[in-house]
Amino acid sequence: MDEYILIFRHEDGQKVASPEQIQVWMKHTRDWIGGIAAQNKFVGGNGLPFEDSKVVGHKGVVTNGPFGEIKETIGGYIIVKGNSVDEAVEFAKGCPVLQGDGNTVEVRRIAKGDGVH
Amino acid sequence: MKEQELIPHLFRTEFTKISAVLCKLFGIEHIEIAEDIASDTFLLAFETWSFKGIPANPVAWLYTVAKNKAKTYIKRSQLFEGKITTALKNSSTGIHEIEIDLSDKNITDSQLQMLFAVCHPSISAEAQIGLALRILCGFGINEIADAFLTNKETINKRLFRAKEKLREEKVPIEFPNEDEIIKRLDTILTTLYLLFNEGYYSESQDAILRNDLCLEAMRLTYLLVENKYTNHPNVNALLSLMCFHSSRFEARKNDNGEIVLYQDQDETRWNEELIAKGVYFLHEASQGGKISKYHVEAYIAYWHTIKTDSAEKWESILQLYNHLLQIEYSPIAALNRTYALSKANGNAVAITEAEKLNLTDNHFYYTLLGELHKDTDNDKAKQHFEKALLLAKTNTDRQTIRKKIDQLSTT
């Protein structure tokens, strides 16, 4: 079985939602993760707060970001177990981030470090 | 009549104390000698008290006899010249001054140190529970066999191998240092948790035995809470969980010994005192920053002490199961999570999620699917319940499932 990382890409990370809406998203996310964990396929994951985030560029140029210049920002990730990329894709389809128009979830297999990959 | 009631009670509590103290004195390699001396003490008590009546202070009587027997053993034993002399040489006292310390403090310390020794990582979990039951809880081989639904020979073999292992590994009877305590506590808590579950979920017909198993697990956990080195938040969380669960002990079985499901229980038979204790230890458990699986399970158990259904209750339970599954997956947690999901988010969502679990060798899986289809599609519900019936392993489970099928046909 392989591990896959599901990376949440937000079209606009600055969009401010109401506390009520955030609470709803939080429940959806927790239920989504709980559903994967209930299948014994959850490995780990984290949210990546936008607050205090920086982008370090060529020659060490540091900017506050990644807002403005970059269209898509990464809001978080989870790592799942799967027999195939298709299974990981099925998990990704349930990701609440996709409720936002333009948001995407990128699915990538994690290299095993066994010299084969 | 009084003697017959008194001796088993004393045997349980005092046997464990005497054998722990003697075992600590002699070293783990002589664990059987400690047990034998403790057993002999009770045999003599039985023989003497049956005819002469119970002494004014039975405990003091037992300690005096145990001390004398231990001293006699040390004097007579050839081992004395070898292993035990070396072990005792630091005391620099002669044979006659050997002090066998049966003070409360030394008893508690010895029992805790024995708990660490018995729950040594080199021994299998099953054997740890067996040893804990024998040495720390004073259960007889018959009782242990009954609790595990197996025979005496199996238990004897298991205990024998475990004791061999303790000898081979030269497991010391002492408090590990503080870093080590934290690591070793996890194993101890797992054993105590299993010990409790052994009583709580045992199929044994002996209700008193089942109750005693749970009480012993709680007593040992309480010993850890009482000691400043082992009074960690996860220990309090486990004790809280045990209190909540055991508060339903009376209500879980009807007069015929059949399991009464949670939703059918008479909550006036829930033990309020134990619920209050559970809340107290849960509060104590919340002092640290770390959340163990025992914390999460204790919170789930807490919500179950509130009988009235509410959106808040099931939403909380659902989120706790979501969390628990991330800490540690288990099929039963996955099934319970899906049940909570049906209560919080509706049956349709829960059915989709349940089908993904694919626990097709588990009768609870089909029982859950049956429950979720009930009322909307009774034919499907029946099919699932029938599959569950084929997979169920115990009579209690089969009885419960048959009842569910019968209820379908009448509605």
Complex confidence, ipTM: 0.81
Q: Which pLDDT score is estimated for B211?
A: 83
pLDDT surpassing 60 at residue B205: yes
Q: Which pLDDT score is estimated for B1?
A: 38
Q: Which residues of B45-77 are buried (b: 16+ CB within 10 A; e: fewer)?
A: beeebeeeebeeeeeebbbebbbebbeebbeee
Q: Which of B300, B312, B317, B322 to mutate to test the interface with A (most CBs of A within 10 A)?
A: B322
Q: Which pLDDT score is estimated for B225?
A: 95
For the segment B318-340, the average pLDDT, to the nearest whole number, is 95
Residue of B178, B155, B191 lying closest to B232 (CA atoms): B178
Q: Which pLDDT score is estimated for B402?
A: 93
The model's pLDDT over B95-145, given as tens digits with 9 standing for 90+, comes to 545 678 888 889 989 999 999 998 888 888 888 888 888 888 888 888 888
Chain centroid to CA B22: how far?
Answer: 24
Average predicted confidence (pLDDT) for chain B = 86
Asked if A47 has any chain B CB less than 8 Å from its own CB, the reply is no
Cα gap B67→B73, rounded to integer Å: 10
pLDDT surpassing 60 at residue B79: no
CA of B248 to nearest chain A CA: how many angstroms apart?
27
Q: Which pLDDT score is estimated for B409?
A: 74
Q: What interhelical angle do B331-345 and B311-327 show, nearest 10?
A: 150
Cα gap B160→B158, rounded to integer Å: 5
pLDDT surpassing 80 at residue B88: no
Q: Which residues of B304-321 are buried (b: 16+ CB within 10 A; e: fewer)?
A: bbeeeeeeebbbbbbbbb
The model's pLDDT over B217-264, given as tens digits with 9 standing for 90+, comes to 999 999 999 998 899 999 999 999 999 999 988 888 777 767 777 878
Q: Which pLDDT score is estimated for B380?
A: 94
Q: Which of residues 300-359 of B touch A (CB under 8 A)?
A: 315, 318-319, 321-323, 325-326, 329, 333-334, 337-338, 341, 345, 353, 356-358
pLDDT surpassing 60 at residue B94: no
> Residue B303 belongs to what H/E stretch?
helix B293-304
CA of B353 to nearest chain A CA: how many angstroms apart?
7
Of chain B, the percentage scoring pLDDT greater than 70 comes to 91
Q: Is B124 left (phi over 0), alpha (psi -120 to 50) or beta?
A: beta
> Which strands form A73-82's sheet, in the order they lie side by side?
A42-47, A73-82, A2-10, A104-109
Place of tokens 């002090």: B99
The model's pLDDT over B366-391, given as tens digits with 9 standing for 90+, comes to 999 999 999 899 999 999 999 999 99
Q: Which of B325, B337, B355, B359 to mutate to test the interface with A (most CBs of A within 10 A)?
A: B325
Residue that wins the pLDDT comparison between B6 and A97: A97
Please indicate whether, in this complex, the C-beta atoms of A37 and B341 are within 8 angstroms of each other. Answer: no
A-chain residues within 8 Å CB-CB of B356? 35, 38-39
- pLDDT-wise least confident of A61-70, B32-41, B144-153, B159-168: A61-70
Of chain B, the percentage scoring pLDDT greater than 90 comes to 41
Please indicate whether, in this complex, the C-beta atoms of B326 and A31 are within 8 angstroms of each other. Answer: no
Q: Which pLDDT score is estimated for B84?
A: 60
Please indicate whether, in this complex, the C-beta atoms of A39 and B334 are within 8 angstroms of each other. Answer: yes
For the segment B173-195, the average pLDDT, to the nearest whole number, is 87
Contacts of A105 (CB under 8 A, 6+ apart): A6, A7, A8, A9, A92, A95, A97, A98
B-chain residues within 8 Å CB-CB of A38? 321, 325, 329, 333-334, 337-338, 353, 356-357
Q: Which pLDDT score is estimated for B72?
A: 85
CA of B328 to nearest chain A CA: how many angstroms apart?
9
The model's pLDDT over A16-72, given as tens digits with 9 standing for 90+, comes to 677 788 788 889 999 999 999 999 999 999 888 877 888 888 888 888 776 655 667
The model's pLDDT over B278-328, given as tens digits with 9 standing for 90+, comes to 999 999 999 877 899 999 999 999 999 998 889 999 999 999 999 999 999
